[in-house]
Structure 1
């Protein structure tokens, strides 16, 4: 009986510093508002009601979430290719790899998005607990088979490893999961509860919070255990910026920090715009008589020092704020684009054998790590069903850009295709990067596009 089973270890805490911020950014405007003063601090001497109003009107520019979505989707613009060495029994699992109707391609895309966003995730190759089933033939007849489970970074609690036969190997894994707990008094009101699963080589345990008979205090207690019929922990980490075994950092962490800065600066800009749009009427030496302000009214005074005027913002701070926001947008786009820029000298084994090939970009290296991890997970499928070799798959990696301008334009095009960037803005941003002549006008180009016949399979700007 221990409550420590629910606590995150120091090893995980060390790599989880950015995870709450990333979770909020991926949650969009509503999640950022819910985070409140964590990412939108209250100004000194700012009235609570004024702050709450400022928080409720703040909106997030989703640079981080869009970039994660675009970059993680690039390797999956083409289907995953199974190798000829994949046995038919394993290949048959690919159409429903998680027993929830998700095929291998979609599952891998989702878990890679987790890796790009948080820097770490994982695939657990699980196996249903079969009651009163004694042979593989009986399991096969009942349709019982291994399947993939996605383990998100934020659910990881601890791990231990050691080098076995020259390879770093997991010897302990602890993670949080959520399960449905049926309500015995109603068939329509299940509740979701937390539980901790602990995996050691050769065994598994489940812990849940239970109310104690004496005092009513809730404690984490072991509620179930069993034997792993496999001589290893069937978990494979998915990395972002891999630093070592089960050690990685979010590849877009700097973009996340900048996106929070943009959230704060944009709130400041909205506030100053509100102030600037409401001029203040200033009067001096007008006497004590009531004053009516309107187009058909006149205000008279016999005092030569009398004055009445509107005090308005000069607008200089507004222009400076707008420039600052645009600079932040450019910097955020550049950080995302840098993952697509090929850096000579960083080569794979295949490229070492073919010296005429160019180097790889950071995203291509991440996809290489992903492919290795998925191949290992497929081998665990084979281990569960007592097949010697699970085979291999290939993930599309023929992307990457020669320059930062080309890479950022590629990201802009993806945003335009997804509908999150207008055709005109896409045109002007590409032009600003020198990829289109400055002499070409958008209005003229739009007319040319409208007149030309559509090209099969080509992305075309709408008129």
Structure 2
């Protein structure tokens, strides 16, 4: 079957199930409730109304999303070193996406999405220059570009939005020759309104097309609304991988954690039902005429006819404990699954370029991912350099030393224990944290005490 411009490729469709799973987990409790029976099946004898009530009470233990957040925090607890970035680009990366985000913020989002889904892309682009030249021949000068504030920029392309691609072998190298990216644009709607339209951007070496969805896609095909040439000969798309399985294909390195988190979501719902049942006492009476009226209370004695009996049905506390233990075991498994990214292994290695040798050192999976992000950022810088007409974009240094962070955390914990033992004062611990770079040197002890005493936490009154 011939694909239309908006049709996802088979490779894209094959990964939809994993993306849906991760979308729901990253979206939290609200997103998990929204997909309903997909991840919280309805019991065979459970009526729809009872299921809705159970679903409305279900809550997600955010193991997956918190692992992504915490691992991203480890990589970016120290800012990206930009000393070796080309001087001509240092101003550009202060607002690298033209949305006000600098390189660190942009790269953190890139890494976070790439870690969660296995990959994420960055597209390097340049504003349209038609009609901006001051020359009769239409050639854009440096003065024209400066006057119009034209410069290269990057934008994230989530794995959801790269809906198709074609790779060919050229000079024995796998080369991307076409990419289709789904995007939305805001356009004017009448004199005062605006509306969103769906588009697909088609990129090929040296050229691009933009196709737009018609208002009624049942009656019309997508329309070509823009096309043109680019000043570089390759497709300016850079992919960061955390779990590469092939070119532009990947599996999330946290996929097993995702499945464990779904299992916890389901068992937590069962546990909640078990706890509710254990808290409710159901009084029953047997051997009594069905029309007989009886009443009972804590202060009264009930007389029953011969052969009749009364009792209480209540859920077993033991069953509640079994469920609680099962959830705790699952939480331990999830912590272990996430922590594996920090385990150093000879399977995840890197060349020590700084030592200018061929030495190979042990590295954690997270460290290898940080190095992969560093390489991807360097590719973005190089493409930006090409757009600017300079030879070398330079190099950005991404933190991959997580031992230092662990040592720092251990040091803070040690200071806390010394304060608790009244061996040192809180002010001494505060100053020591400043000396070690744990907190900013600009913080003042007296000012912080006033904030604490006023009941303000992180600048928000409580």
**So what's the TM-score if we normalise by structure 2?**
0.84
- How far is the alpha carbon of 1:166 from its aligned partner? 4.9
2:90 corresponds in structure 1 to 91
- How far is the alpha carbon of 1:451 from its aligned partner? 7.2
CA distance in 1, matches of 2:11, 2:330: 33
For 1:301-320, list aligned pairs within 5 A: 301=304, 303-320=305-322
For 1:162-181, list aligned pairs within 5 A: 162-181=168-187
- How far is the alpha carbon of 1:165 from its aligned partner? 4.6
Superposed structure 1 runs of 4+ greater than 6 Å apart: 351-357
- 2:29 paired with 1:29: yes
2:366 corresponds in structure 1 to 363
- How far is the alpha carbon of 1:448 from its aligned partner? 2.9
For 1:297-446, list aligned pairs within 5 A: 297-301=300-304, 303-344=305-346, 346-350=348-352, 358-399=361-402
- How far is the alpha carbon of 1:284 from its aligned partner? 1.7
| 8 Å CA contact 1:361, 1:400 repeated in 2 | no
- How far is the alpha carbon of 1:156 from its aligned partner? 1.2
- How far is the alpha carbon of 1:3 from its aligned partner? 7.2
CA distance in 1, matches of 2:419, 2:61: 27
Per-residue CA deviations over 1:53-92 (Å, capped at 9, x if unaligned) read 00000000000000001112211111111243x3321111
Secondary structure at the counterpart of residue 330 of structure 1 = helix
For 1:49-128, list aligned pairs within 5 A: 49-84=49-84, 86-128=85-127
Secondary structure at the counterpart of residue 219 of structure 1 = coil
Unaligned runs of 5+ in 1: 402-406, 418-426, 428-435, 437-441
| 8 Å CA contact 2:374, 2:398 repeated in 1 | yes
- How far is the alpha carbon of 1:136 from its aligned partner? 3.5
- 2:135 paired with 1:135: no
Per-residue CA deviations over 1:162-217 (Å, capped at 9, x if unaligned) read 344554322101011111122214x2x422222111101121111111147xx972
| 8 Å CA contact 1:171, 1:200 repeated in 2 | yes
Q: CA RMSD in A?
A: 2.9
For 1:274-289, list aligned pairs within 5 A: 274-287=276-289, 288-289=291-292
Secondary structure at the counterpart of residue 143 of structure 1 = coil
- How far is the alpha carbon of 1:129 from its aligned partner? 1.0
CA distance in 2, matches of 1:83, 1:15: 39
| 8 Å CA contact 2:271, 2:323 repeated in 1 | yes
1:157 corresponds in structure 2 to 163
CA distance in 1, matches of 2:418, 2:30: 38
CA distance in 2, matches of 1:314, 1:246: 52
| 8 Å CA contact 2:419, 2:425 repeated in 1 | no
2:448 corresponds in structure 1 to none
2:154 corresponds in structure 1 to 148
Per-residue CA deviations over 1:367-393 (Å, capped at 9, x if unaligned) read 111111110111000111111111111
- How far is the alpha carbon of 1:141 from its aligned partner? 2.2
1:40 corresponds in structure 2 to 40
- How far is the alpha carbon of 1:340 from its aligned partner? 0.4
Secondary structure at the counterpart of residue 174 of structure 1 = strand
**So what's the TM-score if we normalise by structure 1?**
0.84
1:273 corresponds in structure 2 to 275
Unaligned runs of 5+ in 2: 133-138, 440-451, 453-462
- How far is the alpha carbon of 1:356 from its aligned partner? 8.4
| 8 Å CA contact 1:3, 1:219 repeated in 2 | no
| 8 Å CA contact 1:117, 1:252 repeated in 2 | yes
Distance 1:355 1:121, change over 3 A: closer
| 8 Å CA contact 2:24, 2:31 repeated in 1 | yes
- How far is the alpha carbon of 1:447 from its aligned partner? 4.7
Secondary structure at the counterpart of residue 46 of structure 2 = coil
Distance 1:127 1:51, change over 3 A: same
CA distance in 2, matches of 1:450, 1:13: 61
